[in-house]
Amino acid sequence: MDGGLRRIPRHVAFIMDGNGRWAQQRGQPRQVGHKAGYEHIREVLGVCDELGVEVVSCFAWSTENWGRPQAEVEYILHAVEGELPRFAEELHQRRVRFVHSGSVGGLPPGVRRALEQAVWRTRVDGPRVFNLVFNYGGRAEIVHAARRILLDAGRAHPPTEADVSCHLWTAGLPDVDLLVRTGGEWRVSNFLLWQSAFAVLFILEAYWPAITREDILRAIEHFDRVMAEGGGRAAGAPLQSS
């Protein structure tokens, strides 16, 4: 059924927009939308795995989000602390490695500990990767990398793109091939700016908790068309037959 695809992206990144609006449309508190959005990650990962995507990144929390209502902030932080250990165990059982991209500075100790333990629990898993982009800002990440480069002792040459890449929070992950934003907004919102320099962009009108397998397949079909027309640098990977 997906045999028409010639290439799929190796790394798909999602801006998970619209959780709160999805809930409000249904007359429910925004927290209900965040819970639904968190649970929907599992389904999206399953679809991406079925299609042969190696790395999935999800933008769960921006450094700008700290300005949201306190109750909403606390709900999300408690959800990460309480739910991530179980989710990490699920990933481990599926041999998916968990990665966190973002700053741990300023996070409550319990949240920081949950992130670190999830990384440790899945450290030997792979090659599939789930990258939780949490407490993240693209500009802050680049500044962070620049500072680390400046602190390197004995540097004998000017910094290169490779030097910057290996000092980013995503060090070791491939660049983004396909960037998908839900919720209909045409903005990248300070998300993986360096890593998405050559990414194919696809906008979905549906809010994150409502996107379907068909939506994801449409995004990957778009990537396939762009690559076939020579419109991107990303190489993708051959689609695995099922």
Six-digit token string for 101: 């991209």
Q: Is there a cis peptide before residue 127, judged by omega within 30 degrees of 0?
A: yes
For 100-110, letters b (16+ CB in 10 Å) and e give bbbbeeebeee
From CA 78, how far away is CA 93, in angstroms rounded? 24
Say which of 17, 125, 215, 224 is annotated catalytic: 17
Q: Output the DSSP codes for 72-93.
A: HHHHHHHHHHHHHHHHHHHHHH
Report helix, strand or coil for 37: helix
Say which of 49, 65, 163, 190 is annotated catalytic: 65
Of 21, 66, 9, residue with least CA distance to 184? 21
Known catalytic residue at 163: no
Known catalytic residue at 125: no
Six-digit token string for 197: 């320099």
171 in Cβ contact with 165 (< 8 Å) = yes
Angle (nearest 5°) at CA 174 between 146 and 77: 70
Residues classed as catalytic: 17, 65
